[in-house]
Structure 1
Amino acid sequence: MSVTTDTSAPSTTGRSAAARPSIAGAVESSDKVASHLHPEGSFLVDDHPMPTGLEEIWRFTPLKRLRNLHKDAELVAGGCDLRAELADGVTLREVAADDAVVGSSGYRPSDRVSARAWAAASTATVLTIPTDTVVEGASFLTYRGLGSPTATAGHTVIVAEPFSKATVVLRFEGSAVLADNIEIVVGDSAQLTVVSIEDWADDAVHHSTQHARVGRDAGVRHLAVSFGGDLVRMNTSVAYDGPGGQAELLGLYFADAGQHLEHRLFVDHNAPKTRSNVDYKGALQGAGAHSVWIGDVLIRKVAEGIETYESNRNLVLTDGCRADSVPNLEIETGEIAGAGHASTTGRFDDEQLFYLRSRGIDEEEARRLVVHGFFADIIKRIAVPEIEQHLLDAVEAELRQTVGVPAVEVSA
C-alpha cells in the first residue's frame, strides 16, 4: 500500500502547548525526572531557557548552525512531503494536535526546540499496528524536505497495540530545516522495531526528539542511522509502563568534513525488572567532522532487578576530526542485576591492518574491510534486508571519500 501526503503548506493553526489535554495513563516519571543530566519536561516554551551553549544539554551543539530553531523566529508546520508504504494491517491517519493519541507516550519536551516544535505542529501523523497483529515486512514513512529555508515543525506518533509485532522505518531525505517530535507507544507484550534514517542533503538541519514508552513485558528496538545533513541532533529516550519491558537502542553514524552529528540518549528505568542495551558506533573523516554521543541511564529506587549496559565506539579515519563521547549512569538503588558502560575512540587497529596486508590485501582495501567489519554487527541486527543493503552501500560510498592518514582528537 502506498499513500502520499503533502504536508508542505505552512500553517498558523498550531495549538498552544498549554492547551494540550492531560494524558491519561502517562508515565508518571516523565513529569519530574530525578536526573542530574536530563531536565524536567514541560510543554511551555518559556519554561525552557534560551540556550547559550553553556548548558549541559547544549554545550556540544553549534547553536549558530541550528538556523534559529532554538530562537523565537517563526516555526511553522509542514516543510516535508510524506510518502507512506504500509504493510498489510497497518493504518495511517492524520489527527488534530489536541487528539488524545498526541502525548500518549507520556513525553514532555525536555529542551526549547522540542517544546517549540510541539507547540507549532497543528496536526500529527499517527501510524497504528492493531492489537494481536503480527506484520510481515516493514512499513516505511519517507519525509522529503522541499528545500525551503523556513524553519518547520512536525509530529509523528507510532502506536503498537498490545500483543502486536511490526517494523517501522522512518527515512528523512532532501533539504529542510526541521524540528520534530516522534512518539513511540509500545503496548503490553508488543514487539516493535523502529529504524530512523537521516539521509538528508548536505545543507539540511534536523533536530529530532524520539521517545518510547514500553509496556509490561513489551520490547522496543530503536535504530538511529545518521549519514546526511549539515547538522543532525537526535534525542532518543525510553521509559517503562511496567515490569518486564525491554529496550535495545542501536546507532550507526558516519560524519564527513564539516558535519555535526549529535546523539543524546536517556533511558529512564522507572519500573522493576526492566532491561536496556545501548550500542552506538560511528566513523569520522574529513576536516571539521564532529560527532557527539551522550548516554544517560537513570535507575530509580523502584527499579529493582533491572539490567542495563551502554556502549559507544568511534573510529577516526582522517586528520581533523573530533569525537565527544560521554556515558553516564545514575543509580538510586543497589538492588540491580547489572549496570555498566563503555566508550572508546581511536584509529584503525594496526594489528588488523598488518594481518590483512600480510595476506596480500592492499592498504586501501584493508581499511575498507575493517570499517565494514566495524559496522557489520549492528547492520545485521536490523533484520530488514533492503535497509541492510542500503546501509552497506552508504558506508561504501562514504569510504570512497576517505583520504589521508588516520589521526584522532578525543574529548570526554
Structure 2
Amino acid sequence: MDTRPNVAGAVETTIASHLHPRPSYDLADHPVPKGREEVWRFTPLRRLRGLLEAEGTGAKLTQEYALPVGVTVNRISSKEARTLGGHAPGDRIAAMAAEHAGGAVLFEVPGGRELGGPITIDLTGQSADDIVHGHMVFLIGRHAKAQIVIQHQGSATYAGLIQVVAKDGAQVSFVSIADWADDAVHAGQVSFTVGRDAQVRSVAVSLGGDLVRIAETAEYAGPGGSIDQFGLYFADAGQHIEHRLFVDHNEPRTRSNVDYRGALQGKGAHTVWVGDVLIRKAAEGIETYESNKNLLLTDGCKADSVPNLEIETGEIEGAGHASTTGRFDDQQLFYLRSRGIDEAEARRLVVHGFFADIIRRIGVPDVEKRLLEAIETELAAHVGVPENIETPNNTEIKEA
C-alpha cells in the first residue's frame, strides 16, 4: 500500500499501480527489468546498449547554451538537486542518470521575470559507443515566464533526467527535440512539477535515433495548475520510438490535456505511446483529456497505443481519452487529387496537416521551420522530394 498525505492533511491510501512505479532516486528501488514488467514490455531491452547497468564511459555531450538576460546556470551536486522539488526517477534508466551524471546543471529564472527569448540548449553526441548520463533541473520562479528549447543531435547512448519545477503562477513552455543520428539510443525521463495556478506547456519531438524511450511525468504542487502536453514522432524502418506519459492529479481543481501524434513508414518501424492519468481521491474538480493518433504510411509498421485512466473520485469536471491508428484517409487524398494535386504531394499535405497543429504550438519560428524540413526529409524516402517546403503557417496546410 502507498500512503500519501492529501491536501487537507488527512491520509490518502492508494493501491500501488503497476503503471507508475514508486519514484525513487535509489537504484535498489529500480531493479534491472527482465522485459515482462508492464512498464518495460514494449521496449527491446537488448537495444538499450548498457543503459540499464553501465555507469558510463566518461564521455559527455557537447553543450551549447543561449541564455536570455536574467537566467543563471550553475553546476550543483546530486544531493542539492534532490532538494529542489523535482519528481524523482520513475524507472531504472532515469535513476541511473541521476546517480552517474556527476551532479546536475541548474538553470534558474527568478520570480517575476519575463524572459526576452527562449533558453536554448543544444546537446550533441560524438559516438554511439559513448554511454553518457545527464541531469538538468529548471527552476522557474513565482509568476515568471520562460520558454525552454532543448535539441539533441549526433550519436550517443544517452540516459537523461530533466526536471522542470514551475513555482506558483509561473508560465512555462518546454520543447524537447530528439533528432539524433540513426545509430543513437536515448532513454530517460522528463518531469514537470506544476505549482499553484501555474501554466505549463510541453512539446516533445522524436525523429531520429535507433531507439528513443522517453517517460514524461506531471504532478501538481497546488490547486489551479494546468499542463498541456503535446508530442510528435516519426519512425522509419527499424526505429523504435516510445513515449510514456503519467499525469498525477494529486491536487484539486487542476487541469491536463495530452495530444500526441505519430507517423510510421518502413519495415519494422515501431512506435509505442502509453498514457496514464491518475485522479486521486483528493483531486476533486479536475479536468483531463488524453489523445493519441497514429498514421501508418507504409506496410510493415506497428503502432502500440495504450491510454489509461485511474479514477479514485467521482467529483470531477471531466475525464476522457482517445486513440486512433490508421492509414491515409482516402477521402482526403481524393479531395486533393480532384483539385489537380498529384498523389505524392497530396500525401505530403495530409502528413503536414496531421502534424501542423502540434508544430504551431512550439512558438519558435526557427525551430518550427527546422522540424518541417526534418519531416520533409523523412517523407522523401517514400513519397518523393517536394519542389518547395511550406511553412507550418501556410494556409494550404490543414489539420487532418
TM-score over 0.5 for the pair: yes
- Quick check: 2:128–2:185 contact (8 Å CA) kept in 1? no
Q: Determine which of 280, 291, 298 is the counterpart of 2:271.
A: 291
2-structure distance, mates of 1:225, 1:125? 22
Q: Determine which of 108, 120, 127 is the counterpart of 2:107.
A: 127
Flag structure 1 segments of 5+ consecutive residues without an equivalent: 1-27, 405-412
Q: Determine which of 137, 141, 145 is the counterpart of 1:165.
A: 145
Q: Determine which of 205, 209, 232 is the counterpart of 1:252.
A: 232
**Aligned residue identity for 1:295:** G
Are 1:369 and 2:349 an aligned pair? yes
Q: Equivalent residue of 2:359, what SS? A: helix
- Quick check: 1:171–1:199 contact (8 Å CA) kept in 2? yes
Report the CA distance between 1:148 and its aligned residue: 5.2
Partner of residue 21, structure 1: none
1-structure distance, mates of 2:108, 2:17? 31
Matches within 5 A, 1:130-169: 130-147=110-127, 149-169=129-149
Partner of residue 17, structure 2: 35
Are 1:222 and 2:202 an aligned pair? yes
**Aligned residue identity for 2:207:** F
Partner of residue 249, structure 2: 269
Flag structure 2 segments of 5+ consecutive residues without an equivalent: 1-9, 385-400
Q: Determine which of 72, 75, 82 is the counterpart of 1:91.
A: 72
Aligned pair in 2 of structure 1 residues 353, 233: CA closer, same or farther (>3 Å)?
same
1-structure distance, mates of 2:240, 2:78? 31
Partner of residue 27, structure 2: 45
Report the CA distance between 1:338 and its aligned residue: 0.2
- Quick check: 1:102–1:124 contact (8 Å CA) kept in 2? no
Report the CA distance between 1:146 and its aligned residue: 1.7
Partner of residue 388, structure 1: 368
Report the CA distance between 1:393 and its aligned residue: 1.0
Partner of residue 195, structure 1: 175
Percent identity, aligned pairs only? Answer: 58
Report the CA distance between 1:34 and its aligned residue: 4.1
**Aligned residue identity for 1:90:** V
Count of residues in correspondence between the two structures = 374
Task: Kindly provide the CA deviation profile for residues 342-366 of structure 1, in whole angstroms up to 9, marking residues without a partner as x.
Answer: 0000000000000111111110010
Report the CA distance between 1:79 and its aligned residue: 2.2
**Normalising to structure 2: TM-score of the pair?**
0.90
- Quick check: 2:18–2:39 contact (8 Å CA) kept in 1? no
- Quick check: 2:344–2:383 contact (8 Å CA) kept in 1? no
1-structure distance, mates of 2:180, 2:302? 21
Partner of residue 41, structure 2: 59
Matches within 5 A, 1:338-357: 338-357=318-337
Report the CA distance between 1:203 and its aligned residue: 0.5
Matches within 5 A, 1:328-339: 328-339=308-319
- Quick check: 1:145–1:173 contact (8 Å CA) kept in 2? yes
Q: Equivalent residue of 1:122, what SS? A: coil
Task: Kindly provide the CA deviation profile for residues 248-291 of structure 1, in whole angstroms up to 9, marking residues without a partner as x.
Answer: 00000100111100000000000000000000000000111110
- Quick check: 2:22–2:90 contact (8 Å CA) kept in 1? yes
Report the CA distance between 1:78 and its aligned residue: 4.6
- Quick check: 1:243–1:272 contact (8 Å CA) kept in 2? yes
Q: Determine which of 55, 63, 74 is the counterpart of 1:82.
A: 63
Are 1:300 and 2:280 an aligned pair? yes
- Quick check: 2:93–2:188 contact (8 Å CA) kept in 1? no
**Aligned residue identity for 1:65:** R
Partner of residue 19, structure 1: none
Aligned pair in 2 of structure 1 residues 114, 107: CA closer, same or farther (>3 Å)?
same
**Aligned residue identity for 1:358:** S
- Quick check: 1:32–1:40 contact (8 Å CA) kept in 2? no
Q: Equivalent residue of 1:135, what SS? A: coil
Partner of residue 237, structure 1: 217
Q: Determine which of 292, 295, 300 is the counterpart of 1:312.
A: 292
Report the CA distance between 1:386 and its aligned residue: 1.0
Aligned pair in 2 of structure 1 residues 160, 289: CA closer, same or farther (>3 Å)?
same
Matches within 5 A, 1:13-28: none
Q: Equivalent residue of 1:184, what SS? A: strand
2-structure distance, mates of 1:77, 1:116? 14
Q: Equivalent residue of 1:137, what SS? A: coil
Report the CA distance between 1:92 and its aligned residue: 1.5
1-structure distance, mates of 2:128, 2:349? 39
- Quick check: 1:183–1:211 contact (8 Å CA) kept in 2? yes
2-structure distance, mates of 1:32, 1:169? 36
Task: Kindly provide the CA deviation profile for residues 292-344 of structure 1, in whole angstroms up to 9, marking residues without a partner as x.
Answer: 00000000000000000000000010111000000000000000000000000
